[in-house]
Structure 1
Amino acid sequence: MSRVPHVFVDISAHGLGHLAQTAPVLDALAARSPSLRLTIRSGLAEDRLRLRIAQPFTHLPASSDVSFLMHDATRVDRERSAAAYRAAHADWPAQVAAEADFLTALAPDLVLANVSALPLAGARAAGIPAAALCSLNWADQFAFLFAGEDWAASIHAQLHAAYAGAEVFLRCLPATAMPTLPRVVDLPPIARVGRAEHAALAAAIGAGDERLVLVGMGGIGFDLPLAQWPQTPGIRWLVRGAPAGRRPDVTDYGALGWHFSDLLASVDAVVTKPGYGMFVEAAAAGTPLLYLRRDDWPEQDALIDWLAAEAVCAELAADDFSSGGFVRQLAALWRQPRRRVAADGAAEAARQLLALLADDGAAPREKFRAGS
């Protein structure tokens, strides 16, 4: 490539799994193309993006996707989400045209979306090659929740067309099935594999020989019922934002300054809900996991089936989660030998993206303008 390649990246702020998938891919891409220029649009805080993405980038603080509005980390707010989708798609052609104008002015060589539909539709209208990267897409998630509504068909068609129009959809496993999308390329799992430093973590929080259990819900708010959990000798809970001094067996891991992947690799277990980043990073690190179901989220079935086959995990009943009555399940997990999975899909994703950047993107642009 004769000039500096410029990639525009759109990262959904719906939880942290989209960033966890995208960051290793961008680092792998930059390692193969050292002069790479990145512009990243995301509603996630810039410092959180820079903690995960090692390469320099320009940050545009905005969100382009509705995704879903949540009551908390495990429950979709259907009413508010429906209203948000109807508002966002009230004049979809105008939104796509505005996005195309924005991308034309920015003039990237490639658009990468995880996993908003709007930049993909805008890139196609602007004649710029585009790729999607994710374990899910919002069209299928939308259909799962709203397919029976009389207002939903046109919105679903617009979302689906945006994904179908991408040059490639890089589906990182474990993932939902996407049988209606063309040009889907399956990738191995993608994760940043953390450094396991259990002794250093225990020393940092004064835990001695206690078991360290991380409790987290993937970047979306959740009211943890810690007050109902009994203090259990030999267990220290690590919870982001836990009030200082309230309980001697609870530590605020956010105050430690550790990279989350390293924290996840250094604890004895994690308690969470189904989500790509948590599941795959825990499996790659060999960290046992207890999960609380989120039954209005169809991606969970693919994640749970994969984790059960590849790692050490168990389902956590809602009543046990509320009462803290799951210590016996943790003990059962600790009796099993740890298993680790490879999570090296970022290299293949980078190879796919470099192919789109080849020849200054001229050929892909002409193909898109031709409407193929």
Structure 2
Amino acid sequence: MKTLLFYISGHGYGHARRTSQVIAALGNLAPELVVHVRTTAPKRIFAGLVPPERVTPTAIDAGAAERSPLEIDAAGTLDRIESLLARQSPIVADELAFIRTVRPSLIVSDIPFMAGTVAEAAGVPCIGLSNFSWDWIVEPFVESLGRSQLALDAIGSGYAAMEAILRMPLGGISGVFRKVIDVPLVANRGGREPKDVLRQLGIDASDRRTRVLFGIRGAVPTATLATAAASAKDILLLCPTNEPGEVPSGVLAVPVGEGLDFSDVLQACDVVVGKMGYGLIAECITSGVPLLWPRRTGFREDQVVERDGPAVMRMRELPMDDFHAGRWAEHIRAASKLPGPTESMSTDGAEVCAEWISGFVHRLGV
């Protein structure tokens, strides 16, 4: 019996949600593999895929510091990474103790760099799984703030210890990885029919209003959401309720959780207002639902998506002044009428990654 150990960044939900799709594909392809997950992301993301006792927290990833959902704190992010590196020795010691108990054949990282350091110390092969590497993300911060290169070197050292990286589209990685294997888009897919989702939400199938999913709670005040919802009678604004903050009058609260995934709701909508994060981009490409996006600051991968995204998905910028003022209606109507993309993008990345990982593990012969 072979065991896989996944180290997954708890920065947002995107890393955990996409890696859960790879784990699900592995379960279908090679159910004999035992999976353990180390992450600070919520256990519920892996419900039904990994027994809860095999999903445990670890402080192996710094993530990024944010001033808001739309703005990275560059200095704070570097401070967090340097603080993590200062604690590297005890963290590695703790992880080595854990590894001795589960005895993994392979470590998979999305995309904590210290996983490579741990794997090297344990004598266990490690691969990366991501559309970006943290050194690529923070390189501009180091340059613009005149900070020491030591953090970049340490991150690169961890990644250089990995056997390879399975690189997803729409991002960027540094050149330190030994081998780069390009894989298709890894995307969450809703498992329910839109008509069933609408029924659960109490939306009549004959309701012809444009259904808009707001996917960035906390990015605007409640009053702004209310203004956006009231700006047109032909629009129905849906807002998930598993995040902090109140849902204002005129907005339909969506109880995302057990039995109703965010992806299910997205596929039942006509437009989504959200960030250009990988997870949402992947779902919009897969479902064909257009994305109305406010501009973020400090998220380097957004530059790639803004450049390459329009060819493979329907997307339109929501200017920040209009975003914060709740003047969304005109942009929503325009987004809903966008023509289809001119190019297609494969979305079977979870299955491709599962095949590669399964093959690698079985070739190990341990």
TM-score relative to the length of structure 2: 0.88
Query: Match of 1:274?
Result: 276
Deviations 1:131-185 (A, max 9, x none): 1101111111121212355653111111011112101111111221534433011
User: CA, structure 1 residues 347+206, in 2 after alignment: closer, same or farther (shift >3 Å)?
Assistant: closer
Q: Quick one: which amino acid aligns to residue 68 of structure 1? A: A
Query: Match of 2:294?
Result: 292
- 1:330 and 2:332 matched: yes
User: CA, structure 1 residues 35+195, in 2 after alignment: closer, same or farther (shift >3 Å)?
Assistant: closer
Deviations 1:199-230 (A, max 9, x none): 4444423352221100112xx75344314434
Deviations 1:226-272 (A, max 9, x none): 1443431011111123646x41x301112575111111111010000
Query: Match of 2:362?
Result: 358
Tell me, what secondary structure is at the counterpart of 2:185?
A: coil
User: CA, structure 1 residues 111+228, in 2 after alignment: closer, same or farther (shift >3 Å)?
Assistant: same
What is the CA-CA distance between 1:93 and the residue it aligns to?
4.7
Deviations 1:61-87 (A, max 9, x none): 234201111122111123432322222
User: CA, structure 1 residues 213+148, in 2 after alignment: closer, same or farther (shift >3 Å)?
Assistant: closer
Query: Match of 2:143?
Result: 147
- 1:12 and 2:9 matched: yes
Query: Match of 1:250?
Result: 251
User: CA, structure 1 residues 361+134, in 2 after alignment: closer, same or farther (shift >3 Å)?
Assistant: farther
Query: Match of 1:112?
Result: 108
Query: What is the alpha-carbon distance in structure 2 between the residues aligned to residue 316 and residue 97 of structure 1?
Result: 47
- Which deviates further from its counterpart, 128-137 or 194-203? 194-203
Matches within 5 A, 1:34-183: 34-50=31-47, 54-56=49-51, 58-90=54-86, 92-93=88-89, 95-149=91-145, 151-183=147-179
Query: What is the alpha-carbon distance in structure 1 between the residues aligned to residue 352 and residue 272 of structure 2?
Result: 29
- Which deviates further from its counterpart, 68-77 or 102-111? 102-111
Query: Match of 1:216?
Result: 215
What is the CA-CA distance between 1:98 and the residue it aligns to?
4.3
Query: Match of 1:233?
Result: 233
- Which deviates further from its counterpart, 192-201 or 134-143? 192-201
Query: What is the alpha-carbon distance in structure 1 between the residues aligned to residue 307 and residue 192 of structure 2?
Result: 25
What is the CA-CA distance between 1:320 and the residue it aligns to?
1.0
Tell me, what secondary structure is at the counterpart of 1:232?
A: coil
Q: Quick one: which amino acid aligns to residue 360 of structure 2? A: L
Query: What is the alpha-carbon distance in structure 2 between the residues aligned to residue 255 and residue 30 of structure 1?
Result: 24
> Is the CA contact 1:238–1:250 (under 8 Å) kept in the aligned structure 2?
yes
Query: What is the alpha-carbon distance in structure 2 between the residues aligned to residue 148 and residue 103 of structure 1?
Result: 38
Q: Quick one: which amino acid aligns to residue 235 of structure 2? A: I
Q: Quick one: which amino acid aligns to residue 212 of structure 1? A: R
TM-score relative to the length of structure 1: 0.87
Query: What is the alpha-carbon distance in structure 2 between the residues aligned to residue 94 and residue 198 of structure 1?
Result: 48
> Is the CA contact 2:8–2:15 (under 8 Å) kept in the aligned structure 1?
yes
Query: What is the alpha-carbon distance in structure 2 between the residues aligned to residue 196 and residue 30 of structure 1?
Result: 20
Q: Quick one: which amino acid aligns to residue 286 of structure 2? A: A
**5+ residue gaps in structure 2?**
none
> Is the CA contact 1:12–1:63 (under 8 Å) kept in the aligned structure 2?
no
Q: Quick one: which amino acid aligns to residue 24 of structure 2? A: D
What is the CA-CA distance between 1:97 and the residue it aligns to?
4.6
> Is the CA contact 2:65–2:77 (under 8 Å) kept in the aligned structure 1?
yes
> Is the CA contact 2:136–2:173 (under 8 Å) kept in the aligned structure 1?
no
> Is the CA contact 1:291–1:316 (under 8 Å) kept in the aligned structure 2?
yes
- Which deviates further from its counterpart, 179-188 or 223-232? 223-232
Deviations 1:291-325 (A, max 9, x none): 11213111112223332111111111100101222
- Which deviates further from its counterpart, 284-293 or 190-199? 190-199
> Is the CA contact 1:27–1:55 (under 8 Å) kept in the aligned structure 2?
no
Q: Quick one: which amino acid aligns to residue 9 of structure 2? A: S
> Is the CA contact 1:196–1:266 (under 8 Å) kept in the aligned structure 2?
no
Query: Match of 1:205?
Result: 202
- 1:184 and 2:180 matched: yes
Query: Match of 1:365?
Result: none
